[in-house]
Amino acid sequence: MGFFEKKLSGKRVYSGKILNLEVDEVGLADGSVSVREVVRHSGGAAVLYVEDGKALLVKQFRYPYGKEIYEIPAGKIDEGESPYAAAQRELEEETGFKAELSPLARIYPSPGYTDEIIYIFLAKNSTRSRQNLDKGEFLTAEFIPLDKVVNMVESGEICDAKTVTAICKYLAFVQKK
């Protein structure tokens, strides 16, 4: 038998461009009442593309941290879009590659306060198309030797959760097979 939290009431306190914020009153296992602050997000899709011993990363300014960081290509899933289609679209827009994808991982980035799911795919049979960034999107895409990327994950220079997950799952469950 597990624990459960029952929604008693809820209000939308912010409706935005990439997220909404809801604050709900919930009934807990002991009958007491608490508050849950929940970011409602449509989900993210990301792609690990490894070719000739190199991984394709993008370097992008991330405003919440005030700096550029390395990540695998990724973006927000649009309304009504599948994770697969979003991942294909983001890969092509951000890097100019089209590819077939297979599921690699699915992560809950911070389950205490967001309902986002990030779907991570592995690319294969890629072909070159062309980069086509969204308006207001600025990033550079580059192939980096996988050994170097692994070192950057180990040292903590790469700390984006989806990128760490993708590289580590690739090492642990794909490459070794």
Instruction: Give residues in contact with its own copies (CB under 8 A).
Output: 2-5, 13-14, 16-19, 21, 23-24, 26, 28-30, 32, 34-39, 41, 44, 59-65, 68-69, 71, 76, 105-118, 135-136, 138-139, 150, 153-154, 156, 159-162, 164-165, 168-169, 171-173
Minimum Å gap between C-beta 172 and its own copies is 5
Element (H, E) at 7: strand 6-15
Closest CA to 55 of 150, 137, 130, 127: 150
Are 174 and 122 a contacting pair, CB within 8 Å? yes
Residue number, 80 or 112, with CB nearest to its own copies: 112
CA atoms within 13 A on the CB side of 33: 6
At 175 the three-state DSSP class reads helix
The tokens describing 79, both together, are 């309304």
Residue number, 5 or 100, with CB nearest to its own copies: 5
Minimum Å gap between C-beta 94 and its own copies is 13
Minimum Å gap between C-beta 37 and its own copies is 5
